[in-house]
């Protein structure tokens, strides 16, 4: 009998999530019971789950699962195919997560409840569909109280979105360093003047930061100013205003990444068709339970797996490519394909308290199949990573690797070597196979017709 608490689940005294004998449970503590009952009796949980906004759960008898004295109810929530974090999301994903949070706040208020926190980590994605996972975030609405989660909402959602849309998309990465959201004074300071004084951002970021600073407790025994009561109408107005502000933010990536990536690569129609057919064949043969596509760009080849019902994560370092991938998947309500932003040369590390709250990329693997299509040359040549090190890295992520090798004779690699010395004597098919031999068994080497590229299938030795 094994029971382990999920490492990020500890801040809320209302309950926590843990694993027992492989299954996922949520313990609901007695202190939360009145709120839980209100959420059930008002019909809120049922409505939110039926609408697909809140992760579904079922109640299980307490006696069925080991629990401590504080437990009141035991829940079994649905499990997610993959856990992702806000610093891995593209702009539209963060936007949709924000809108989902606000939609639930509105629904909750309709049922006499509200959100006691508004952390971006309350939201996860099932494919391209956002879902709220923190069932215990909802509490009975105390009439007249200002929204306790307003500051957190602005730090987790509004600030990074404003920075990404009005300053630079790369600033969304600040979420990795600031695990509890981007400080409002920082966001306000970094925004260009024109954006800083837009009424909505002026209030929710700049004035908000100033109000917080002004009323921070600095002196012992200094009188604490009492906030005025805030009516329910005002709360709904605030939610409405935040929603409009967020909907108005659109990120339009400038630059060549947004243009057709595949125009810049050396694919003839014949080669593209050959690659698709070979890949499809390999996926059908391997029948993986899950796939990670590394360097997936807009997900053209990821969809070969996801369209077969296989949960697939499509990683790319370019936020514009991920954005495009996500917008397409969202339009199709794709529940299998999850696009994420990831720099493979500096992937998400372990983060948070004791380095254990948010898992690194490798800790969320390994998966059955990793696809590394037209990727290795970026790592080996573009980033000077030895091929054997790439093999070790890929082994940590997946049991089978489908790899597209682009030789030096191909224009893509030629471009990488154009302005530098060729210090890669071992970069060729034979060198690749030698480098991968320690970790993998070479199962297939398939030439892509109409090109000089090779499609490999490697399977882990142990």
Partner 1 sequence: MNANRSTNSIARWQFAILVAALLGARDAHAYLDPTTGSMILQGIVGGAMAGLFVVRRQWAQLKGWFSRRRAAGTDSSQAPSGRDAD
The residue range among 20-28, 226-234, 257-265, 290-298 that interacts with partner 1, by the rule CB under 8 A, is 226-234
Contact partners, residue 185, CB within 8 Å, separation at least 6? 209, 213
Residue 112 near partner 1 by CB under 8 A: no
Q: How far apart are CA 393 and CA 388, in angstroms?
A: 9
Tell the smallest beta-carbon distance from residue 219 to partner 1 (Å): 13
Residue 429 near partner 1 by CB under 8 A: no
The DSSP secondary structure of 248-289, one letter per residue, reads: H------SGGGS-GGGSS---HHHHHHHHHHHHHHHHHH--S
Tell the smallest beta-carbon distance from residue 98 to partner 1 (Å): 9
Find the binder of partner 1 among 28, 163, 238, 367 (CB under 8 A).
238
Instruction: Show contacts with partner 1 in window 115-154 (CB under 8 A).
Output: 116-117, 130, 139-140, 142-152
The residue range among 27-35, 296-304, 306-314, 392-400 that interacts with partner 1, by the rule CB under 8 A, is 27-35
Tell the smallest beta-carbon distance from residue 154 to partner 1 (Å): 8
Q: Which of 379, 371, 374 is nearest to 343 (CA)?
A: 379
Find the binder of partner 1 among 236, 300, 317, 460 (CB under 8 A).
236
Q: In the complex with partner 1, which residue's Cβ is closer, 119 or 290?
A: 119
Strands 454-460 and 398-405 come out as antiparallel
Find the binder of partner 1 among 23, 40, 197, 213 (CB under 8 A).
213
Find the binder of partner 1 among 226, 250, 419, 462 (CB under 8 A).
226
Residue 37 near partner 1 by CB under 8 A: no
Q: How far apart are CA 348 and CA 61, in angstroms?
A: 38
Find the binder of partner 1 among 216, 222, 269, 423 (CB under 8 A).
216
Q: In the complex with partner 1, which residue's Cβ is closer, 228 or 420?
A: 228
DSSP structural state of residue 60: E
| CB count in 10 Å sphere of residue 63 | 8
SS3 sequence of 85-96: CHHHCCHHHHHH
Residue 221 near partner 1 by CB under 8 A: no
Q: How far apart are CA 455 and CA 148, in angstroms?
A: 54
Q: In the complex with partner 1, which residue's Cβ is closer, 141 or 440?
A: 141
Residue 96 near partner 1 by CB under 8 A: yes
Contact partners, residue 317, CB within 8 Å, separation at least 6? 295, 341, 342, 343, 344
Q: Which of 396, 403, 390 is nearest to 293 (CA)?
A: 403
The residue range among 57-65, 237-245, 281-289, 388-396 that interacts with partner 1, by the rule CB under 8 A, is 237-245
- Total residues in contact with partner 1, by rule CB under 8 A: 56
Residue 225 near partner 1 by CB under 8 A: yes
Q: In the complex with partner 1, which residue's Cβ is closer, 184 or 305?
A: 184
Question: Cα 401 to the chain's mean position, in Å?
Answer: 23
Tell the smallest beta-carbon distance from residue 158 to partner 1 (Å): 13
| C-alpha torsion angle, residues 425, 426, 430, 434 (rounded to 10) | 160
Strands 367-373 and 398-405 come out as parallel
Q: In the complex with partner 1, which residue's Cβ is closer, 225 or 418?
A: 225
Residue 335 near partner 1 by CB under 8 A: no
SS3 sequence of 98-122: HHHHHHHHHHHHHCCEEECCCCHHH
* Greatest Cα pair distance in the chain: 78
DSSP structural state of residue 202: I
Q: In the complex with partner 1, which residue's Cβ is closer, 180 or 449?
A: 180
Q: In the complex with partner 1, which residue's Cβ is closer, 33 or 289?
A: 33
Residue 47 near partner 1 by CB under 8 A: no
Instruction: Show contacts with partner 1 in window 182-211 (CB under 8 A).
Output: 203, 207-208, 210-211
Residue 224 near partner 1 by CB under 8 A: yes
Q: In the complex with partner 1, which residue's Cβ is closer, 215 or 264?
A: 215
Q: How far apart are CA 453 and CA 445, in angstroms?
A: 10
Q: How far apart are CA 444 and CA 438, in angstroms?
A: 16
Tell the smallest beta-carbon distance from residue 178 to partner 1 (Å): 16
Q: In the complex with partner 1, which residue's Cβ is closer, 42 or 276?
A: 42
Q: How far apart are CA 148 and CA 155, in angstroms?
A: 13
Interface ranges with partner 1 (CB under 8 A): 11-14, 31-32, 35, 96, 99-100, 103, 116-117, 130, 139-140, 142-152, 203, 207-208, 210-217, 224-231, 233-238, 240-241, 243, 247
């Amino acid at each position: 009998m094994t029971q382990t608490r999920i490492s990020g689940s500890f801040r809320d005294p209302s309950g926590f999530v843990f694993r027992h004998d492989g299954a996922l449970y949520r313990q609901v503590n007695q202190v939360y019971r009145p709120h839980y009952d209100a959420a059930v009796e008002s019909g809120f949980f049922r409505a939110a789950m039926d609408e697909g906004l809140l992760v579904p759960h079922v109640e299980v008898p307490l006696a069925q699962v080991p629990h401590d004295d504080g437990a009141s109810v035991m829940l079994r929530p649905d499990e997610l195919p993959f856990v992702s974090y806000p610093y891995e999301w593209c702009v539209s994903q963060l936007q949709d997560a924000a809108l989902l949070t606000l939609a639930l706040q509105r629904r909750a208020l309709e049922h006499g409840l509200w959100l006691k926190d508004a952390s971006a980590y309350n939201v996860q994605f099932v494919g391209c569909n956002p879902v709220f996972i923190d069932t215990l975030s909802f509490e009975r609405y105390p009439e007249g109280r200002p929204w306790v989660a307003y500051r957190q909402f602005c730090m987790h959602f509004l600030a990074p979105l404003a920075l990404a849309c009005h300053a630079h998309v790369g600033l969304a990465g600040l979420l990795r360093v600031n695990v509890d959201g981007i400080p409002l004074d920082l966001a306000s300071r970094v925004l260009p003047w024109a954006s800083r004084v837009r009424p909505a951002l002026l209030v929710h970021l700049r004035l908000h930061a100033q109000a917080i600073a002004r009323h921070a407790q600095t002196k012992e025994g200094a009188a604490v100013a009492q906030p005025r009561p805030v009516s329910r109408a005002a709360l709904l107005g605030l939610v409405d205003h935040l929603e409009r502000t967020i909907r108005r933010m659109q990120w339009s990536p400038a630059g060549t990444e947004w243009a057709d990536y595949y125009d810049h690569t050396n694919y003839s129609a014949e080669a593209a068709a050959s690659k698709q057919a070979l890949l499809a064949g390999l996926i059908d043969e391997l029948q993986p339970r899950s796939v990670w596509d590394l360097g997936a760009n807009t997900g053209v080849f990821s969809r070969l797996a996801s369209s077969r019902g296989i949960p697939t994560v499509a990683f790319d370092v370019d936020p514009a490519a991920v954005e495009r991938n996500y917008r397409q998947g969202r339009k199709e309500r794709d529940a299998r394909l999850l696009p994420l932003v990831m720099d493979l040369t500096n992937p998400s590390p372990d983060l948070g308290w004791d380095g254990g709250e948010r898992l690194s990329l490798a800790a969320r693997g390994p998966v059955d199949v990793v696809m590394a299509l037209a990727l290795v040359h970026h790592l080996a040549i573009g980033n000077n990573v030895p091929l054997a090190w790439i093999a070790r890295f890929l082994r940590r992520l997946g049991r089978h690797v489908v790899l597209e090798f682009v030789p030096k004779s191909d224009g893509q690699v030629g471009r990488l070597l154009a302005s530098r010395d060729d210090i890669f004597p071992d970069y060729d098919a034979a060198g690749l196979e030698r480098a991968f031999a320690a970790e993998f068994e070479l199962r297939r080497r398939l030439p892509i017709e109409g090109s000089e590229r090779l499609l490999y299938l490697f399977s882990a030795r142990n």
